[in-house]
Structure 1
Amino acid sequence: MHAAIVLLVLVLTYLGMMAGRIAWLRVDRTGIALLAVIALLASGQMTLDDFGSAVDMPTLALLFAMMIISAQFAESGFIDLCARTITGWGGGTAGLLAITVAIGGALSAVLANDILIVTIAPLLIAGAQRRGFDPRPFAIALAAATNAGSAATLIGNPQNIILGAMGHLGFWNFLRINGVPALFALIVVFGVVWLQWRRRIRDAIPPEGREPPPVTVHPIDRNQMIKGVVALVALLLLFSTRLPRETGALIIAALLLANRKITSRTMIAAVDWPLLLLVSCLFAVTGALNDAGIAAKVLGFLDDYGLLPNNLLLLVPFAAVTSNMIGSVPAAMLLLQIWPTPPAGVLYALALLSTLAGNFLLSGSLTNLLIAEQAERIGVRFGFADHARAGVPIALLSLAFAVLWLALTHILPVLPHPAGAGQP
């Protein structure tokens, strides 16, 4: 009975992840995960102590610290300055698009994407409108470049942080393996968006006689910007030491919170608390699967029939489908509970493939949805078809190169191992 209840809660939770919300209620993925934990607590399948022990605190600590560091860049005006650099570009429109992709990709590799997008997207979209351009290609380029750039590093997005923490992956080794496919994906983003939207980019659309709605602007504070850059460089240096990543990140975050200009309340308010709650609840829900003995049975079944995704033939469709159906974070956490000690190559490949696959659909990543939401607030419709027109070829081309790269560098084999050989 215990296993049946846990399995029912897990299935309902992941159906909710797939839907994204409960249709007749205003409950999103975080709310669904929280309700699942409460259901497990109320039914006696889990205690609060179980909940606490299921949560991987180093993962949450690193996520939190990266959000604080990213808030420093936002509040200092650094991200605003990047947006002004893009919209103030005086060269050709191809250069304007290229600098959008370059800045979006570079920042997403080291900053929390939600804070980055909420800050830069409104400024970019409004700036494009003021110059008489159709803002949609720039919004699409920013979304796709952010997804692609975040695939390069261990701190680029939440799923990378989770996979890196649970698998004890090295920061620089991660960059060495995933950096080249991420860079290629950025080139693909520019090429596809330019080819598909070049006429709308080249032919400026006359403004409609009204200014875009006002957007939040952070004043430029050069001292605080320098402080943020120094903090980020120090963090990367700490990643080269034996100090645990989460400890180093928390030290840097603490130094930034001790600030004479930006209040700690402002910095802490920038943290994506719903995301941290979602991750915590998913740790608990998927952990219950392991406690009930279900995870071991599923692992044994997959191993016996040669279905463990320890090869590109199985991992590519798994990453592509789950990232667009239930989300990369829930998919990664479910896989790690069922298969707690996968080879490092699987983790590197999953981080890369699931992130690049997020460009397929508008719902494929939180970044896409945030940009669509920011565009709508300014009065720009950025719909499913607009995104898919460029997103599908971007995802297909970047995934094809990623698979080729992973195979040629022997990170992961193309074909499955013989049955029974995959279980560690």
Structure 2
Amino acid sequence: MDSTVLAIFLVVYGGMILGKVPGLALDRTGVALLGAIALLATGKLTPGQAWGALDGSTLALLFGLMVVSAQLRLGGFYSELTGRLAATDIPPSRLLALLVLTAGLLSALLANDIVCLAMAPILVVGCSRRGLDPRPFLLALACAANVGSAATLIGNPQNMLIGQTLRLSFGGYLLDAVPPALCGLVAVWWVVRRQVGSDWLRGTVVVEPQAPPFDRWQSGKGVLVVVLLTAAFLFAPWPREVLALAAAGILLCSRRMRSGNILALVDWHLLILFIGLFVVNHALASSGLLGGGFALLQRAGVDLARPAWLFALTVPLSNLVSNVPAVMLLLPLADHPLSGAVLALASTLAGNLLVVGSIANIIVIDQAARLGVAISWREHLRVGVPVTLITLGMAALWLWIRWQFPG
């Protein structure tokens, strides 16, 4: 047993659980990066081995899609869409349904974290203007973004990682994920609607945040690229990471929108988190400790090669260490035909259970708090628990049907 590698791994994943290292001003990204540096400093990995541990295709896909999303954000697309949505003259329950559908669709095609970051402040302002309590709509936004992102292999970082690592078909995954995702969006609306009852109104005065002005040309260009890119993912023979980078390159060649402004909105922290975890997990696997741990589970009757066991373990692990680290740990066991869909759906839908289960949840609550709207963990729990249980049940049932009747 390599005690140094094990100690570094435990510190890193302890940091994933706590979100920090006690006594140090390190977040999850800092902890993962520090773990990778420690492995190099102690000689457990050479720089060449650490470089070889990185999954370049996943990192390239992530980066490319972040640039596309940044284009839409700077063009004011998210702000304009959310503002128009909130101002729509329809009853609150229908507004809630429209919000859930919009957030779910956007999150399926773009990074759900960016969708929440851009939509949450405008949603608070829109609800304030109408005298509506923004909290149900914000909770619906977070839950719908998570559920909608589960529908595709580009909806969130863990799905991108799963799709790239397992070389999953973009269209094939849609058959596994779209039905439970659509049903899950209905469940989000139903749960939030029941929680609210008839108590929609609340006087909330907020300071309106500055949002990028709406630029029809830049937003239209971004939307066109998203449509063409999605079609290319479905039908073109080229690798997804190459297509995403090509899309990013086209958008960076602009006469009006500065490339520095676009690149400033790339989530470099998330990319560094991936890099650190790739290195740490590679060291653990190379030492034999990861395989030994899985062998112990198998001797105890937990066969993670079976979809049911993989599904059952992914849910609590995703809430314990967050979904990206959980997926990285479990991917080496994903050799069943349904393993990719199991990992993607279970890890993503489990994110609605707790506030810390998904970055999207944290973003929405943080953005709301900056505008004076407080959402407690209990309020989130009252929505998150039933949404998680219902959507996971739907996903498990659909995957079982898909396995029993593959045609």
**Bin for the TM-score computed over the shorter chain:** over 0.9
CA distance in 2, matches of 1:411, 1:97: 36
Amino acid of the structure 1 residue aligned with 2:90: G
Name the counterpart of 2:317. 322
Deviates most, 111-120 or 29-38? 111-120
Q: Deviations over 1:38-93 (max 9, x none)?
A: 11111111122111110011000000001001111111111112211221110111
Counterpart amino acid of residue 325 in structure 1: L
**Other structure's SS at 1:24 match:** coil
Could you tell me whether the CA contact under 8 Å between 2:133 and 2:203 is conserved in 1? no
Query: Kindly tell me: are residues 14 and 140 of structure 1, through their superposed partners in 2, closer, same or farther at Cα, counting changes over 3 Å?
Result: same
What does residue range 86-125 of structure 1 map to in structure 2 within 5 Å? Answer: 86-125=85-124
Question: Are 1:109 and 1:152, in contact at CA under 8 Å, matched by a contact in 2?
Answer: yes
Residue 21 of structure 1: SS of its match in structure 2?
coil
Is 2:214 aligned against 1:214?
no
Give 1:313 shift.
Answer: 3.5
Q: Deviations over 1:180-232 (max 9, x none)?
A: 0000110000000001113221xx2235xxx4123131111111122112111
- Give the SS at the match of 2:393: helix
Q: Does 1:132 align with 2:131?
A: yes
Which residue pairs with 1:190 in the alignment?
Answer: 189
4+ residue runs of structure 1 moved beyond 6 angstroms? none
Equivalent residue number for residue 393 of structure 2: 400
- Give the partner amino acid of 2:260: R
Residues 187/374 of structure 1: CA separation in 2 closer, same or farther (3 Å cut): same
Structure 1: distance between partners of 2:238 and 2:203: 55
The alignment covers a number of residue pairs equal to 405
Are the aligned partners of 1:345 and 1:412 in contact in 2 as well (CA < 8 Å)? no
The equivalent of 1:419 in structure 2 is none
Within a 5 Å distance, the mapping from 1:20-419 to structure 2 comes to 20-201=19-200, 204-207=201-204, 211-239=205-233, 240-303=235-298, 306-337=301-332, 339=333, 342-410=335-403
| Percentage of matched positions with identical amino acids | 41
Maintained 8 Å contact 2:128/2:203: no
Q: In the alignment, residue 256 of structure 2 is paired with which amino acid?
A: K
Shift of 1:126: 1.9
Contact kept, 8 Å, 2:151 with 2:174, in 1: the verdict is: yes
Partner in structure 2 of residue 420 of structure 1: none
Q: Separation in 2 of the partners of 1:402 and 1:291?
A: 33
Change (3 A) 1:243 1:110: same
On the 8 A contact 1:359/1:391 being kept in 2, the answer is yes
Q: Specify every segment of 5 or more residues in structure 2 that has no aligned partner in the other structure, as ranges.
A: none
CA distance in 1, matches of 2:6, 2:269: 24
User: CA contact under 8 A between 1:72 and 1:256: conserved in structure 2?
Assistant: yes
Pick which of 69-78 and 294-303 moved more.
Answer: 294-303
Is this contact kept in 2: 1:121–1:139, CA < 8 A? yes
CA contact (8 A) 2:20 2:31 kept: yes
Do 1:141 and 1:190's aligned partners in 2 also have CA atoms closer than 8 Å?
yes
Aligned residues of 1:130 and 1:212 also touching (Cα < 8 A): no
Q: Deviations over 1:345-400 (max 9, x none)?
A: 11111101111111111111000001011011101111100100111001111111
| TM-score relative to the length of structure 1 | 0.92
How far 1:312 sits from its partner (Å)?
4.5
Stretches of structure 1 lacking an aligned partner (at least 5 in a row) = 414-424
